[in-house]
Copies of this chain bind each other. A is one copy, B any other.
Amino acid sequence: MSLSHLDEKGHAHMVDVGAKAPTRRQALARAEVRLAPETLVLLAEGGLPKGDALAVARIAGIMAAKRAPELIPLCHPLPLSAVSVELSLSEGGVVIEASAATTAQTGVEMEAMTAAGVAALALYDMVKGVDRAAEIVSLRLLEKSGGKSGVWRRG
């Protein structure tokens, strides 16, 4: 059996991106976490029992971006040139925006999505002692750029 004949049966496999051009690629994802009003007050005042939830969630998200290929079975490992995670208080909870960038043969959507998703999970961990019903109500890609398919923005 030669190299080129593997996978012909359509099983799960990491797609070969070896023929793609390395280009600058970026992605932006957003997570929204709904919190009880009392939790929002504690969060804003720094009164949560486990400590500074926003700093913990931000750093957890940044670190998770780097672990995306370990967590997501068919995600390609690649060098990241930038990651950022921002959290802001909204009326009913917290909005998390995560961006990732690379110069590589494949995109960084999963890095941005994983950063936003794990930041949201870490935030849940910080508040669950006082707000077990807190819920991640959205985790989605907002935009991506780079590569053959160019720019995509959520409509």
Give the B-binding residues of A (Cβ under 8 A): 1, 3, 6-7, 9-18, 24, 26, 28, 46, 49-52, 55-56, 58-60, 62-64, 66-67, 69-86, 97, 99, 101-105, 109-110, 113-114, 117-118, 120-122, 124-126, 128, 132-141, 143-145, 152, 154-155
Q: Hey, which chain B residues are within 8 Å of A16, CB to CB?
A: 81-82, 101
**Cβ-defined contact, B117 with A136, below 8 A:** yes
Shortest distance between the CB of A47 and any CB in chain B (Å):
9
With contact pairs A62-B74, A79-B104, A109-B128 given, residues A120 and B99 touching in the complex (Cβ less than 8 Å): no
Of B55, B74, B155, the residue contacting A126 (CB under 8 A) is B74
